[in-house]
Structure 1
């Protein structure tokens, strides 16, 4: 199987939209679509159907980007949950609770003129009950900390951890061996190495971009360098909606 590159943008909001649009232009030049991780209810306030962010997302979907339902309500902590489940809304939910949240999330997106059959839980942590609820609700894909799960038909798992400028998610080190003093430059080198190495091995390269960090020129550049490294190593751009691209889709 050839290498695949999926770039997602999370943390997008009205204040971070201008930087996200600028970064998307860089990805468009590389023919790399974006998977937008949108919480139906963000941590602060609520989305409006006529807001610039929602209008922007509607304009991006017809050109090949993907909308990913990113949990439901980021403003609350699930009752009775303790660390490490704080802010990981779907990490420990039974199926009936997850189903109720998915129903509410779907209705919220409907009110915004949006819809999605793709789900990514906060902090990429999904309980087995959440996976059951997603299947019953007709979701096609769940992107979690392990990889990308195709939920309909013959189910399968495309393994691949999420890469960020801070390394791998879930506290995994970006490179093997003892780490030098934790510096931004070292973390960035780890991202480049992992993106390039995974692509050369024909793996799944998942790079998540935190929109709140895009105002930093150094972060933007290392993300673009990692994306270029994966593309140069032969990775085919894809989205979470279509995680197995065909040659024609490229």
Structure 2
């Protein structure tokens, strides 16, 4: 299991982004390369209402090249449909949010979407046994369904857990630029330029693990990119070493 001083950086939202978003992602990845920090790519196989990813897509080729050079990949839902509706939903399940595709699904509904997502991802030539919940929210049914599709790791808002029976759980809250973050609301004008590095330092000193989760739209704002890079530098100066999610648990890495 991960020891003291682990830094995890992830990026989502490129599937439904544009060429400018992808150019910014390339530039951000270069900055991480300079710091010796790998990037975990959170990939949704298709955007809602759009064709699925294909092997020939520039984005797929770029991610494949990055993963081959030391980055990692986690499945990030299927198409991010807001609160998918199935026969199980009779109005008793409240709406959680726009990006909570797997936030309230029972096991059988989660299994159907995971099966579809894995089928599309496999067709691109990409593969993974790790899952990152959209909106960082995974229902109990989703967690139960993951091993049935061969997923051995699940990352949510507060933890990264092995889905194997009796597997380890690493408690660490992901730091994001979502508007609900209390530390970001306390520093709106600076956009987290001071607060995020401070949060990263507290995380590495308290739990030994720093998780920074960025979205493609965060990279559109230079002050957020600056805050993220300063937080990464702060964590590294405190002794944190860059890693990827599937490198956390030896038993998971061996099964990948």
Q: TM-score band (shorter)?
A: 0.7 to 0.9
- The structural deviation recorded for 1:206 is 0.5
Determine the structure 2 residue equivalent to 1:65.
71
Partner residue, 2:56: 50
Moved more, 231-240 or 6-15: 6-15
Q: Secondary structure at the match of 1:174?
A: helix
1:126-175 C-alpha deviation (Å, 9 max, x unpaired): 111111100222211100012101112541110111112457xxx35228
Relative to structure 2, which stretch is displaced further, 48-57 or 158-167? Answer: 158-167
State how far apart, in whole Å, the 2-side matches of 1:215 and 1:133 are: 35
SS in 2 for 1:188: coil
Aligned to 1:229: 234
Question: How far has the Cα of 1:76 moved from its partner?
Answer: 5.1
Shift of 1:205: 0.6
TM-score between both structures, scaled by the size of structure 2: 0.86
- 1:34 maps to what in 2? 39
* Corresponding residue for residue 78 of structure 1: 84
Structure 1 residue matching 2:7: 3-state secondary structure: strand
Name the structure 1 match of 2:171: 159
Match of 2:254 in 1: none
Indicate whether 1:139 and 2:163 are aligned: no
Q: Deviations over 1:164-190 (max 9, x none)?
A: 2457xxx35228xxx75x523163322
User: Structure 1: any 5+ residue segments left out of the alignment?
Assistant: 246-250
Distance, in Å, in 2 between the alignment partners of 1:86 and 1:213 is 17
Equivalent in the alignment of 2:253? none
- State the TM-score, normalized to the length of structure 1: 0.88
**In the alignment, does 2:104 pair up with 1:102?**
no
Q: Shift of residue 244 of structure 1?
A: 4.9
Counterpart of 1:173?
A: 182
Task: Work out the CA distance in 2 between the residues paired with 1:133 and 1:77.
Answer: 17
The DSSP-based 3-state class of the residue aligned with 1:214 is: helix
Q: List alignment gaps of at least 5 residues for structure 2.
A: 251-256
Displacement of 1:203: 2.2
Q: Distance in 1 between matches of 2:167 and 2:143?
A: 12
Matched, 1:114 2:126: yes
Q: Deviations over 1:68-90 (max 9, x none)?
A: 10011224541145421443111
Q: CA RMSD in A?
A: 2.1
Residue 3 of structure 1, CA deviation: 1.8
DSSP-derived class of the 2:183 partner: coil
Q: Distance in 2 between matches of 1:57 and 1:111?
A: 14
Aligned pair count reads 238
| Structure 1: distance between partners of 2:191 and 2:227 | 11
Change in CA separation of 1:84 and 1:76 when aligned onto 2, cut-off 3 Å: closer
